[in-house]
Amino acid sequence: MRFENPFQIFKNPFVIEDLLVFDNATLQRLLSSEGFHLTIEDVAHSLYGTSKPVIAHIACNLPLEQRAYFQSLLQHPLTETEVKAARQRILDNLFWELIYWKAPELYDELTDGEQLHPGIFQQLESDVRDKVVLDAAAGTGRVTFECLRHRAELIYAVDPAPGLLHLLSQKLASASDTNRVIIRRGCFEQLPLENDSVDISLSCSAFSSKAGRGGERGLAEFWRVTKVGGKIILIWPNPYDYDWLVKHGFRYVTFPLHQEAYVRFRSLESALRCLQLFYADNRAAAHYILERQQPEVPFSLLGFEQPHDYCWLTVKK
Ligand SMILES: C[S@@+](CC[C@H](N)C(=O)[O-])C[C@H]1O[C@@H](n2cnc3c(N)ncnc32)[C@H](O)[C@@H]1O
């Protein structure tokens, strides 16, 4: 799973005013969930000297019981260094959410060349073919398009980030046979689907055991929307969730990586842009690309492996 990769360092281009990009529901989820590690102290301190609309947007989306304390924190005197440090922590913890909401085209550019191990969908072919499938946290459709290619009957592509879904709809508009995809805004914790409405629930590189990123509530939602006998499948699960997933009945499938796999960026410019932003100017990778004048680089040089695993369970009610 990408966002938990401890070796990945990014160059954070965001400023605290960018928090205005989130809608109320998302901000409430981010501010109240342990998964994002935002302390109320850091939230308040990061807002020193910022504009009233930003403070108001945060204040009205905090859990009720924290609001009075938040207001009192805003009155504490702080040094510039303390404010800067609090901002950095908030923006770093929200880096990926800010990318999804504020720079979705960069996320698409990053993942475009990051192919899943071919074994994954070869194996899932019979689960997907002629089935009604949910791609939860669909992003710009990496898994949605695999499901289309593998002849799913209908795919619900669900994601909370409007910009990512907009890109997905643009991509669908220029592809063929895409009336089998229905795009909906929504999150793991409240899937916008009826009970027992899909045969297979899938999610790739997004679900985690932590509240706000799925957790118990999200898993219960997968169970609710998936028909009896159907499957819940998490592609590229978070390695830190292994025990939690096994405890909840998931089984693992991993495909061997026989040879070096490559991330294939769209162009040399795109590769260098992605390296600069998402890999903190990874010099070795940039050198590799420039020396060969090809926009591709081994996964290993970027500090992670090609996504080559998934876990699954069968829904019994
Ligand atoms: C790393 S991206 C993966 C996107 C896509 N599945 C892929 O493989 O490229 C994580 C996705 O999770 C979505 N997301 C974040 N929090 C979520 C939540 N609570 N419920 C559903 N989706 C969420 C983000 O908007 C983003 O699209």
Q: Which of 102, 126, 159 is the last residue of a domain?
A: 102
pLDDT of residue 9: 64
Domain extent, residue 268, equals: 262-302
Going from the Cα of 75 to the center of ligand 1, the distance in angstroms, rounded, reads 36
| Reported pTM | 0.95
Same domain, 123 and 252: yes
Domain assignment of residue 58, yes or no: yes
Mark whether 247 and 272 lie in a shared domain.
no
Asked if 201 and 274 sit in the same domain, the reply is no
For residue 112, CA distances in Å to 109, 116, 136, 142, 274 come to 5, 11, 18, 8, 11
Do 96 and 195 sit in the same domain of this protein? Answer: no
Query: Is the domain of 187 the same as that of 277?
Result: no
Alpha-carbon distance 36 to 95, whole Å?
10
Tell which one of 100, 144, 164, 225 to mutate to probe ligand 1, the residue whose CB is within 8 A of the most ligand atoms: 100
216 secondary structure, DSSP code? H
The mean pLDDT values, 10 residues at a time, for the chain of 317 residues are 51 94 96 89 96 96 96 94 96 95 96 95 98 98 96 97 97 88 97 98 97 95 98 96 98 94 95 89 89 95 94 95
**Residue where a domain terminates, one of 61, 82, 102:** 102
pLDDT given at position 129: 98
Which CATH number fits the domain that encloses residue 54?
1.10.220.30
57 and 94 both lie in a single domain? yes
On whether residue 274 sits in a domain, the answer given is yes
For strands 132-136 and 198-204, give the pairing.
parallel
Does a structural domain hold residue 108? no
Boundary-marking domain end, from 102, 122, 155: 102
Helix H segments across 3-117?
24-32, 40-46, 52-59, 67-75, 80-93, 95-102, 104-112
Domain count, the chain: 3
Same domain, 35 and 55: yes
Half-sphere exposure of 237 (CA within 13 A, CB side): 26
Residues contacting ligand 1 via CB (< 6 Å):
2-3, 100, 111, 136-139, 142-143, 159-161, 164, 187-189, 204-206, 213
